[in-house]
Amino acid sequence: MRGRLDRITRAVAVALHNPDVRAYVYQQLHASPYPEHKLHFAPFVSQAGSPLSAGIAAAAGLTETQVSALLDSLIDLEFYMPVKTHWAQWTGGPDLMVASALRDHEIPGAYDLLGAGVTLTSAEDPPATPTLGIVPRETDFSKPPMKPNMQLCQVDCGGGGGGGSPPPPPPSGVGMTYSYIPGDYEGFLMGNPMGNPEFEVHALSRKSTSETTVTDLQCAGEHAADFPSDQPGILSTAYVYDQNDHTWTGQVLLLSKDQANAAQANDSSVIYLVWEDDNTACRIVKDGQQVSDEIAGIAALTIDAANAVIALFYFQNPVLAARSLVRGVRDLITGTQNDDFVGVMVEASKIGATYDDGSTHAIVQSTNRQLDVRGRVKLAAQP
């Protein structure tokens, strides 16, 4: 697969030596309605009359039918310019190269427009030359992206007041109002701090009293309202938030009151995992055993083995409290492009921490049998 990807990457770079091909690609990228101006690679290349397809065929010494066969032999890919400064800098000229990678954090293979290999030394730090990337698909190209003014709710998203009306109250449930995650979780070709990180919070719990494992119940993140085929829980804008910097403030629902009560009725609290999504939005792409081991490792290092959160909605004054919940994880998916695990939300007192900014929970990993704090959040239980 790497050999095939490398071959198509070089052919795309050589094809872009032609000014007409560059102009076409530049226009198509700028016309893309998808996040970060992404294009679905194989369908884009295969468009009838595409100068890029003809250019790739000439560069690779193939017929266009053979180019189609090569595309069919590859995993599903997307094509874009991931680094914001590159996007602002490139105006369609020959100051360009093309790079590809199968996995995040691997140093990409790259070519200039003459087909010469370019040696990159880092997966995280982008080169000075504007770079187009060919990487595993993470965007849903099956439908147009949702417009900002579209609403799709299955829980109360709040009425929209106008003319100076106060904002609607947050929906009932466990909500997050602040997140601080200082780390960088993507190589430059997959997004990087110079692009947009794609943080998500996943709530995991038992689905019944007979379960011995926990299951992904709900996703909160940028695509929580527009990925019905992949979203494990409720499809709603109440669960949408988009953290594009180290710090995020706002209001997002992580689990509704009804969802939390249902989980607690199964004698189970909820584990909140934070991920930097690399592929398949609103689904955790990671080996389930690895996630189970991480959760158990964190619990072993916290006071009272607390790695789960219970919102006491059964009482008049809901309070977020910690509870031990060490269980295996099931119903995850695995793939070529694994998501980056940021950490488990743990009540700050259970790791002996206090935060001046009002954060209630730390985001922690277990690294070499020691707690590694990767960020912090402020959670609140809304009656």
226 shares a domain with 106? no
Examine the domain organization and report whether 13 and 130 are in the same domain. yes
User: Residue 70 burial (CB < 10 Å; 0-12/13-18/19+)?
Assistant: buried
Range of the domain at 46: 2-136
Q: Are 209 and 219 in contact (CB under 8 A)?
A: no
In this prediction, residue 64 has a pLDDT band, given cuts at 50, 70 and 90, of confident
* 223 and 358 both lie in a single domain: yes
Total number of domains constituting the chain: 2
Establish if 159 belongs to a structural domain.
no
364 domain-assigned: yes
Based on its alpha-carbon atoms, the radius of gyration of the chain, rounded to whole angstroms, reads 23
CA distance 370 to 367: 5
- Please check whether residue 249 lies inside any domain of the structure: yes
- 118 and 180 share one domain: no
Mean pLDDT, residues 136-149 taken together? 69
Boundary residue ending a domain (117, 136, 155): 136
Cα–Cα distance for residue pair 84/76, rounded to 1 Å: 24
**Has residue 158 been placed in a domain?**
no
Q: What are phi and psi of 261, to 5 degrees?
A: -65, -40
pLDDT attached to residue 148: 42
Q: Are 339 and 300 in contact (CB under 8 A)?
A: no
Residues 123 and 218 in one domain: no
Q: Which residue has the tokens 């009002």?
A: 358
Indicate if 192 and 340 belong to the same structural domain: yes
Name the percent of the chain lying above pLDDT 70. 85
**Nearest Cα residue to 284 out of 242, 248, 233:** 233
- CA–CA distances in Å: residue 130 to residues 42, 53, 97, 118, 311: 22, 22, 7, 13, 48
80 and 222 inside one domain: no
**Coil/strand/helix, residue 343:** strand
Encode pLDDT of 241-264 as tens digits: 998 778 999 999 999 999 998 888
Q: Note whether residue 187 is domain-resident.
A: yes
Q: Which of 153-157, 179-183, 248-252, 329-333 has the lowest mean pLDDT?
A: 153-157
Residue that has been written with the tokens 């109440």 in this structure: 238
Residue 160 lies in a domain: no
Give the mean pLDDT of 169-175: 88
In whole angstroms, how far apart are CA 49 and each of 53, 64, 105, 196, 229?
Answer: 8, 10, 36, 33, 33
* Residues whose CB is less than 8 angstroms from the CB of residue 380 and which lie 6 or more positions away in sequence, other chains included: 170, 174, 175, 176, 177, 320, 360
Tens of pLDDT, residue by residue over 34-54, are: 888 999 999 999 988 889 999
pLDDT tens digits along 278-310: 666 788 877 788 888 888 999 999 999 998 898
Residue 50: CA atoms inside 13 Å, Cβ hemisphere, count?
Answer: 23
Query: Degrees (nearest 5) of the Cα angle 94, 95, 100?
Result: 100
On whether both 201 and 349 belong to a single domain, the answer is yes
Same domain, 229 and 369: yes
> For residue 107, is pLDDT > 70?
yes
